[in-house]
Amino acid sequence: MAVIQFPGVNCEYETARALEAAGARADVVRFNLSADEIRRYDGYVLPGGFAYEDRVRAGAVAAKDAVVDILAEEAARGKALLGICNGAQVLVEAGIVPGREPGLVEMALAHNRHPYHKGFLNRWVFCRHEATGEVLPLPIAHAEGRFACADEKAAAALDRDELIYLRYVDEAGGAAGEEYNPNDSALDAAAISSCSVAAVATMPHPERASWLYQIPRYLPGPWGLKRRRAASKELTARGPGRLIFEDFLKLV
């Protein structure tokens, strides 16, 4: 697996470690390697950070980089893509997610919007893995994380086509409401899949919740309880974020 290192990203090495913990071999790969060097990998992860300093909009400049065209071509050939936070913004800005018309930007990751806070937000959230119903505590760290569509019809199509991969919920898996949707994301979406290729854009950071020791002891719900009860030797056990990487490797 290749973890693509754009100028300004800062999560590439922990993402590579999380991939390896899930069973993959992962290399941190510079964005400006030759096309042949990029193409030799079986799948690609775009990690979090601030590619090109988030100029214009988060992910907008990186989405125009030549390497993203290569990734889109490889995805069309059946390879898998995972974008995490800034990487999710790149996939949306490149028109890969949701991908009804590849290359066409169909939605946006807009500025966080919430009555109690604004701007950059760093906190733990609860997300429902829509394929299994499992509730995963995961951390977010973004200022532009609100999945937004041009109109209600476009948003409804995400639900209709089952493209919402993770959805913000409360700790019991119920509707997020104002308290648990941290950025007013449409349909409480925390991660979106592509309908045309094997790609997922997730705003929460699974690499920061891939081991049990990363889970805060104060969190409510079964994962917080598991963390509080864990003995020292159990702290390196699988965390909730590992599922996202396991899903990704199934697509490869």
Give the total number of structural domains in the chain: 1
Q: Residue 119 is part of which domain span?
A: 2-251
Q: Going along the chain, which residue ranges are E strands?
A: 2-5, 27-30, 43-46, 80-84, 107-110, 121-129, 135-142, 146-149, 164-169, 189-193, 199-202
CA distances to 59, 73, 105, 192 from 135, in Å:
28, 34, 30, 16
Note the pLDDT of residue 89. Answer: 98
Q: Which of 11, 85, 127, 149 is catalytic?
A: 85
241: domain CATH number is 3.40.50.880
CA quadruple 102, 28, 252, 191: dihedral, nearest 10: -60
**Strands 121-129, 80-84: pairing kind:** unpaired
Instruction: Please give the helix or strand (H or E) that residue 225 lies within, else none.
Output: helix 221-229
Nearest to 81 by CA among 63, 96, 67: 96
Note the pLDDT of residue 114. Answer: 85
Note the pLDDT of residue 213. Answer: 98
CA distances to 48, 79, 157, 166, 190 from 18, in Å:
13, 19, 32, 19, 20
- Per the annotation, the verdict on 144 as an active-site residue is no
- Per the annotation, the verdict on 178 as an active-site residue is no
CA distances to 167, 178, 181 from 115, in Å:
20, 8, 11
Instruction: Quote the DSSP letter at residue 9.
Output: B
Note the pLDDT of residue 92. Answer: 97
Specify whether the CB–CB gap between 96 and 194 falls below 8 A.
Answer: yes
Q: Name the residue with tokens 């490869």.
A: 252
Q: What is the pLDDT along the chain (252 residues), one digit of tens a residue?
A: 999 999 999 999 999 999 999 999 999 999 999 999 999 999 999 999 999 999 999 999 999 999 999 999 999 999 999 999 999 999 999 999 999 888 899 999 999 998 888 899 999 999 999 999 999 999 999 999 999 998 888 899 999 999 999 999 999 999 999 899 999 999 999 999 999 999 999 999 999 999 999 999 999 999 999 999 999 999 999 999 999 999 999 998
Note the pLDDT of residue 152. Answer: 85
Q: What is the pTM of this model?
A: 0.97
- Per the annotation, the verdict on 207 as an active-site residue is yes
Across the strands, what pairs with 146? Answer: 110
